[in-house]
Structure 1
Amino acid sequence: MAHFLPISFPNRLALPSFLRLATLALGLLTVLPGCSDDDDMVTPPTAAPDRITVPQAALHPEGIQWDAANQRFVVSSRTQGRIGTVKDDSTYTVLADDPRLVSTIGLNLDAGRNRLLAAVSDGGFNPTRSSAATLRKLAALAIFNSNTGSLMSYVDLGALRPGVNHFANDITVDAQGNAYITDSFAPIIYKVDLQGTASVFLEDAQLSGGTGFGLNGIVFHPDGYLIAAKSSDGSLFKIPLTNPTTFKRITITQSLVGADGLLLLNPQTLLLVSGSQTTVFRLTSTDAWATATANGTFATGPVGPTTITRRNEADAYVLYPYQATSPRFAIVKAKL
């Protein structure tokens, strides 16, 4: 509320007309609604919800990204292949689809370039699109316009190593826009540049998961290396961009078996989702990820957690797909 002191004259009627008008105008300005200090206050943003339950039957999402520009989550689908968006009110909308999307797994939102990258595979989850030609053979990268969902490019990765099993899993993007994609059935990390040229970035038997899942989550560190997780034994690898064959295993005493999605909160802090342990681990490093320590956990319960995304400076959300036939999935704030 505005406050003012009244102007007093000994004889108002004796004032010249222009002074009487000025006095009246001053009085009106002090009571007009537009002059209230309250109108200068900014409405605070709506608090991010602790949990969003999405009533989409048998969608079984694997990947998730927060799209800050459009204030929505983006999720993939193992069972249907399509990519959709989720608002805080649980509204699900299809963003992108294509017959070649047998199963979409990991996602990466390259917001600065308006790109949404999706790893495409066939693990036998999609009964309508899986085929003998693609089952355990498909590894591809689909790139969409992140605002419209239109397909920009589709890159066949499995063709780089024909005749072996493939499963494109997760994606990260470096500062120059190069994408790096893990293969869970072959001990390979692929690289796709901005022109869509694909190559084998790293191939090594140490990255193999044997008969199970090998490489899974992957993140880019701003100091010029990748951190990748192997599900079968919980190994974490530090992989230099300039010389990937010199990669090292990160020393950590905590068992990370079942390692899936990764999220680099800051250069010293990494969140890791273990599906088999139904836990999100907070890992920290003080020696540029030569070693790491687990110093926080978030128990998800038996919901099949896969991966995690950052919403703002303080909040990270983990994806609960439940079972392949579940009538819903959930996006839950991880409290570590």
Structure 2
Amino acid sequence: MLFSFITSPTGPARRPNVIRLTALAAGLLGLLPGCSKDDEPTTPTVPNPSRISVPQAAFHPEGIQYDEANKRFIVSSRTKGVVSTVRDDSTFAQLADDPRLISTIGVNLDAGRNRVLVAVSDNGANTTRTSATTLRKRAALAIFNNTSGALLNYVDLGGLRPALNHFANDIAVDAAGNAYVTDSNAPIIYKVDPQGVASVFLENAQFDAGTAFGLNGIVYHPDGYLIVAKANTGTLYKVPIANPASFTAVTNATGLTLTGADGLLLTDPQTLLLVSGSQSTVYRLSSTDAWANVRSTGTFATGAVSPTTITKRGSDAYVLYPYTATSPRFKIVKVSF
């Protein structure tokens, strides 16, 4: 089509001009770099793309939420300690930061209150912000305005049990606006009320994992309880909000091994998606008896990409692939069963 517009003073372009232009085009194409595994196109060609590849080197995101109102994903970062956004065309922008954010881990978008809640920890991944006083001691909840990124509150959690090691990991928010935060290094679930007052919601030796990662993913069920995953054993717990001490272990009816359990997503009252990073798998779990028992109804293999957490977008679910702490990019991938 391009050549049809090329003319000479006496008529259509002569064949030698076409040959020269063809050779020039071939030469320019030869200068274009080939696509490699870590140099993938970032602009999607369809709505709700199957994957979004984000060229952010050594960002190592851990948590993810989809912000429907603003058509963007919200992600955390172990290595940078910031909160950022990603759009479908891979456009990347920083939403929030604070010097106390050493590593940002779990993220919860409380859309009705226009808040972004972020779990803050320090396991040494952010080499520019870690310190001897915060390493394995920092556990906090940072709360930001979702529109402006302004810090609304910063709540210390580790100080409630200063003698223990800490790693604030994931967050659930109930209908009243109370936040519940798991600690992977201490056998604790914290509660932070809407006014920012922190307390130990539940502490129990069953949650202790020694030097391994313990409590991890957490979700709020609309019937008034939490579902919590323990990573080192793959155990799921049902924790009633009104009486947390009466928590019970969910029986795995199919004998499925869920070790490495990380992010949880409740897609409806009977269906839970669970990301197992160590197994490179997203499990679809179902319960018909209010989460006394659970069975597997599907799996999605991610490959060796260190999947962490998962978020709902309309009727779809997207899982986060951080790869490693030094990777040149990360991905957000639609899950299919």
Partner of residue 310, structure 2: 308
Partner of residue 329, structure 1: 330
For 2:53 and 2:61, the matched residues in 1 are separated by: 13
* 1:160-199 correspondence to structure 2 within 5 Å: 160-199=160-199
For 1:315 and 1:102, the matched residues in 2 are separated by: 31
Partner of residue 30, structure 1: none
TM superposition shift of 1:211: 1.3
TM superposition shift of 1:178: 0.1
TM superposition shift of 1:148: 1.1
Partner of residue 34, structure 1: none
TM superposition shift of 1:232: 0.3
Partner of residue 200, structure 2: 200
Partner of residue 295, structure 1: 297
For 1:47 and 1:152, the matched residues in 2 are separated by: 33
Matching residue within 266, 269, 272 for 1:270? 272
Cα offsets for 1:122-159 (capped at 9, x unmatched):
01100000000000000000000011111000000000
Matching residue within 281, 294, 298 for 2:283? 281
Matched, 1:55 2:55: yes
Partner of residue 83, structure 2: 83
Partner of residue 25, structure 2: none
TM superposition shift of 1:295: 1.0
Matched, 1:318 2:319: yes
For 1:320 and 1:59, the matched residues in 2 are separated by: 11
1:329 alignment partner AA: F
For 2:47 and 2:114, the matched residues in 1 are separated by: 26
TM superposition shift of 1:170: 0.1
For 2:83 and 2:117, the matched residues in 1 are separated by: 11
Matching residue within 259, 262, 280 for 1:260? 262
For 2:331 and 2:177, the matched residues in 1 are separated by: 30
TM superposition shift of 1:284: 0.1
1:116 alignment partner AA: V
For 2:195 and 2:335, the matched residues in 1 are separated by: 36
Unaligned runs of 5+ in 2: 1-45
Q: CA RMSD in A?
A: 0.6
TM superposition shift of 1:47: 2.4
Partner of residue 120, structure 1: 120
Moved over 6 A (4+): none
1:183 alignment partner AA: D
For the pair shown, which has the larger CA radius of gyration, 1 or 2?
1
Query: What is the SS of the residue equivalent to 1:112?
Result: helix
1:315 alignment partner AA: D
Partner of residue 142, structure 1: 142
TM-score, length of structure 1 as denominator length: 0.86
For 1:70 and 1:307, the matched residues in 2 are separated by: 20
TM-score, length of structure 2 as denominator length: 0.86
Unaligned runs of 5+ in 1: 1-45
Cα offsets for 1:192-219 (capped at 9, x unmatched):
0000000000000101112100000000
Partner of residue 247, structure 1: 247
* 1:2-13 correspondence to structure 2 within 5 Å: none
Partner of residue 214, structure 1: 214
TM superposition shift of 1:272: 0.1
For 2:233 and 2:65, the matched residues in 1 are separated by: 26
